[in-house]
Amino acid sequence: MYFEHIYEKGLAQASYFIGCQATGEAIVIDPKRDTNTYLEIAEREKMTITKITETHIHADFLSGSRELQMATNAEILLSDEGGKDWQYKFEHKGLKNGDIFKVGNLKFEVMHTPGHTPEHVSFLLTDTAASSAPIMIFTGDFVFVGDVGRPDLLEVAAGIKGTREKGAHDMFQSLKKFKSLPDYIQVWPGHGAGSACGKALGAVPSTTVGYEKISNWALNIDDEAKFVETLLEGQPEPPKYFAMMKKLNKIGPNVLGGVPHPARFTLTQFRHALKQNMKIIDTRDKFSFSGGHVKGAINIQDNSAFSTWAGWLLNYEEPFVLIAPDHRILELTKALMRIGLDNLHGYVHDLESWAGSCNELETVNQITVADLKKRLDDNGVQVLDIRGYTEHEAVRIPGSMNIHAGLLTENLDKIPKDKDVVVHCASGDRSSIAVSILLANGFDNVINLTGGISQWQQDGYEVEKGPKQDKAA
């Protein structure tokens, strides 16, 4: 058996290439949309991808199943569980609980494991050439290392009412199936730490059934009501793009036939884009952005969170332009296509020529924690915490209001205009995004807190902890 774990850090997403070396056949589980990775593995290992499958209709990334099928002519096998509302709408071979299919000498048994979603399945793998006992289970968003999939995404992100509590009860029942498996079976999940598909995912790539029985909180609550309550509490805000991913993955994403190559803009083209009010995404680091940026640009730094924040802030129907160096544009394009943001109109490789052509750049005002403390004592500013609600509830600067950075645009009416607004996150990355959003929307009274609440605590200033009675947003 040949096995390869492919991990995309930006979305904390895992996919799998598994092949039978005796027959040269291979399968890919939960492929990402930039499929060259799998094609290169197949060529290197002298294998042919004959099957493609998914554990469920994904919400956090755009599936590459149709893209990979177009390149390989492999058969797509997808869940037909969960009822008529949870069926894939493009051509595939349906899978039901207990079904078995083979890839060479590798046997895959389908387990219906609803909870995260109604149609969710897991795959139990047996290498029949070596043993009659199963060796691995591919759990998708069912069981993670140290956590289980959240059941509230359909309701919170996709607006499908009445699904979160039912999903939690379904998860409790599905975990009974998992706990009945032999302890030695390796568990290979669909996500790792950093994914919004759970609240406490571990950072190691795999685990075993036995270890999860010992260490996973969800497998150690025997009371169903208590389990449901615990599973639903404290889940992070799901990015806005999740609803679009559900829709596109259900009907079938557009096939691109490869990674697009956006145009490098001339200054004339860039001026034209600005006149058309195209959204400008500046991918430079927060310090460069603060020192000088194109007025109206949004700062989404080129780091591991780029995909997620692009999904929070970009409209799927509107073209946009990147500010990014030549050597990074390919990887940024891949990050965007993985969540279906295909309207990249072009890019500008730096701002030196732009600034050198008598175009004014906007800067970001900064404040230290010491200066903020003085101004708070004078009651002269409003502190805006743009972290997640659970982070704010855990620890916060006294008197701060909380609006998640991804929800600022819908809550601009809550931002004061009659006093300075000091924006902060944990250490400064997310607050740079938030400040750029507010500046782009005409707020000239915003200031970024250098070092964020981490620096505030490090310098020994007072904080509040625990639930607040009044929630700003």
For residue range 32-56, list pLDDT tens digits in order: 999 999 999 999 999 999 999 999 9
Q: How confident is the model at residue 299 (pLDDT cuts 50, 70, 90)?
A: very high
Between 447 and 235, residue with greater pLDDT: 447
Mean of pLDDT values over 308-323: 96
Q: How confident is the model at residue 469 (pLDDT cuts 50, 70, 90)?
A: low
φ/ψ bin of 115: left (φ > 0), alpha (ψ from -120 to 50), beta (otherwise): left
Lowest-confidence pick of 192-196, 292-296, 353-357, 405-409: 192-196
The residue from 188, 221, 251 where one domain ends is 251
pLDDT at 470 over 70: no
Mean of pLDDT values over 133-144: 98
pLDDT at 203: 85
- Pair 74, 165 in one domain: yes
In a domain, 346, yes or no: yes
pLDDT at 378: 79
CATH of the domain at 336: 3.40.250.10
Active site residue 425: yes
- Pair 94, 242 in one domain: yes
- Pair 324, 215 in one domain: no
In a domain, 376, yes or no: yes
Which one, of 436, 423, 269, lies nearest residue 345 by Cα? Answer: 269
- Pair 277, 394 in one domain: no
Q: Contact 21/9 with Cβ under 8 angstroms?
A: no
What is the per-residue pLDDT across 90-102, written as a single tens digit (0 to 9) for each?
Answer: 999 999 999 999 9
In a domain, 316, yes or no: yes
pLDDT at 158 over 70: no
- Pair 242, 271 in one domain: no
In a domain, 429, yes or no: yes
Mean of pLDDT values over 418-444: 96
pLDDT at 472 over 60: no
Which one, of 442, 460, 437, lies nearest residue 384 by Cα? Answer: 437
Strand partners, 122: 111
Between 80 and 468, residue with greater pLDDT: 80
140 alpha carbon, distance to own chain's centre: 14
pLDDT at 155: 80
By the 10 Å C-beta count (0-12 exposed, 13-18 middle, 19+ buried), 288 is classed as middle
The residue from 196, 221, 251 where one domain ends is 251
- Pair 335, 409 in one domain: no
Mean of pLDDT values over 1-8: 97
pLDDT at 73 over 70: yes
In a domain, 257, yes or no: no
Strand partners, 348: 323
CATH of the domain at 223: 3.60.15.10
What is the per-residue pLDDT across 188-221, written as a single tens digit (0 to 9) for each?
Answer: 999 998 787 777 788 899 999 999 999 999 999 9
- Pair 129, 162 in one domain: yes
pLDDT at 156: 75
In a domain, 48, yes or no: yes
Q: Which residues lie below 8 Å from residue 335, measured CB to CB, with a gap of 6+?
A: 10, 306, 307, 310
Which one, of 237, 362, 347, lies nearest residue 288 by Cα? Answer: 362
- Pair 206, 233 in one domain: yes
pLDDT at 396: 97
Q: Contact 59/311 with Cβ under 8 angstroms?
A: no
Average pLDDT of the chain to the nearest whole number: 95
Mean of pLDDT values over 227-239: 91
pLDDT at 473: 40
pLDDT at 429 over 60: yes
The residue from 338, 356, 374 where one domain ends is 356
pLDDT at 105 over 50: yes
- Pair 232, 89 in one domain: yes
- Pair 30, 120 in one domain: yes
Query: The domain containing residue 21 runs over which residues?
Result: 2-251
In a domain, 468, yes or no: no
Mean of pLDDT values over 273-294: 97
Q: How confident is the model at residue 23 (pLDDT cuts 50, 70, 90)?
A: very high
pLDDT at 50: 98
- Pair 299, 418 in one domain: no
Euclidean distance between CA atoms 102 and 112, whole angstroms: 18
pLDDT at 160: 74
In a domain, 473, yes or no: no
pTM comes to 0.93
- Pair 381, 320 in one domain: no
What is the count of structural domains for the chain?
3
pLDDT at 257: 94
By the 10 Å C-beta count (0-12 exposed, 13-18 middle, 19+ buried), 66 is classed as buried
Sheet harboring 279-282: ordered strands across? 298-299, 279-282, 320-323, 344-348
The catalytic residue among 20, 197, 358, 425 is 425
